[in-house]
Amino acid sequence: MKFSLASNLILSSSEWQMIICMGASLWLLFEVWRGWQLGFFRGLLKFLALIVAWFAGSTIVATLSTLFIFLFHTSSSLISSVVGVSVGIIIYFIVNFLSALLFKKTNHYRGFLRGLFGIGGACWGLLFGLFFIWGTISLIRSLGLVGEMRLLKAEQQGLPAVSDPLACNLVRIKKSIELGPLGVWFVQVDPLTSAFYANTKKSMILLQDHDAFIRFMNAPNTQELLAQPLMKKMINDPQVQQAISSGNLFQLVKNKNVQQALSDPTLWKQLKSFDLSTVLNQACKQGEE
């Protein structure tokens, strides 16, 4: 590719990694104590709510990543992550609200039952804390990609990396959590695949290179997806184009053509089966020849 990532100049920090690990340990202790208070059933539902919310959000992120490249011509990680997180939060709070209505806390019991339900809740609290940290690893690494995107834009504008301190810090946190043997373990347990991060990085660079983007759009797999009637109708809708140009995500979601396309199982199947890695690699490699 024609461009290099300015984020390569940002150094990791072992101190930051230590602070993150200490914060994670304190979080686990808090969740064990909180789980004891909630009791067995509320703790169980809280844990299940997090799992359902996470996997629902992850599915949406993975599917929308491809779609938003076509719609917004920008890096896919930010907008798709916002949508996925929003859906996950809604699911999580609905399940927790229902559990609060249906089940008692530990202090509502007495004697042996109180200890039994408290220990059960503490165990679920520990699992909840571990799973939450698992998801936080993905969040930190995804935010690092957002920082890399901002630094890349600054680089194309001829600005130094220090001109965007927020982006520098996001990248530094991401690199810090990936530092050393512990960082290798964090990367291995990250629920988001390495392909997701690699594809997002490539799309960040790809969308700064007009020729590479044209190759991407003209690839047979891309043309096949764009030829899908609902996809074509959505992209060519003037209201969709206006919402995209203004960055109005709410207006975009309300659009009937967008709603019709996103509710169509055939289009979702095509988006899921779209080999984004192969198309990105081909577009990038041709530009390096």
120 and 234, same domain (yes or no): no
- Confidence at 69, pLDDT banded by 50, 70, 90: low
Looking at 137, 159, 192, the residue that finishes a domain is: 192
Residue 218 lies inside a defined structural domain of this protein: yes
Residue 201 lies inside a defined structural domain of this protein: no
69 and 114, same domain (yes or no): yes
166 and 228, same domain (yes or no): no
Residue 65 lies inside a defined structural domain of this protein: yes
Q: Quick: pLDDT tens for 22-35.
A: 998 999 999 999 88
Looking at 141, 161, 192, the residue that finishes a domain is: 192
Dig out the tokens for 239 from the structure.
């209201």
Residue 140 lies inside a defined structural domain of this protein: yes
214 and 188, same domain (yes or no): no
Listing DSSP states for 201-217 in one string gives: HHHHHHTT-HHHHHHHH
Residue 71 has pLDDT above 80, yes or no: no
251 and 142, same domain (yes or no): no
236 and 131, same domain (yes or no): no
pLDDT attached to residue 247: 58
Residue 70 has pLDDT above 70, yes or no: no
Query: Which pTM was predicted?
Result: 0.63
Residue 175 lies inside a defined structural domain of this protein: yes
218 and 265, same domain (yes or no): yes
188 and 129, same domain (yes or no): yes
158 and 249, same domain (yes or no): no
Number of domains in the chain: 2
Residue 16 lies inside a defined structural domain of this protein: yes
Domain, as residue range, for 271: 209-289
15 and 76, same domain (yes or no): yes
pLDDT attached to residue 227: 83
Q: Quick: pLDDT tens for 195-252.
A: 777 777 777 777 677 788 888 888 888 888 888 888 888 878 888 777 766 656 667 7
Residue 198 lies inside a defined structural domain of this protein: no
116 and 172, same domain (yes or no): yes
Looking at 136, 161, 192, the residue that finishes a domain is: 192
Mean pLDDT of all residues belonging to the chain? 78
155 and 14, same domain (yes or no): yes
Provide mean pLDDT across the span 117-137. Answer: 87
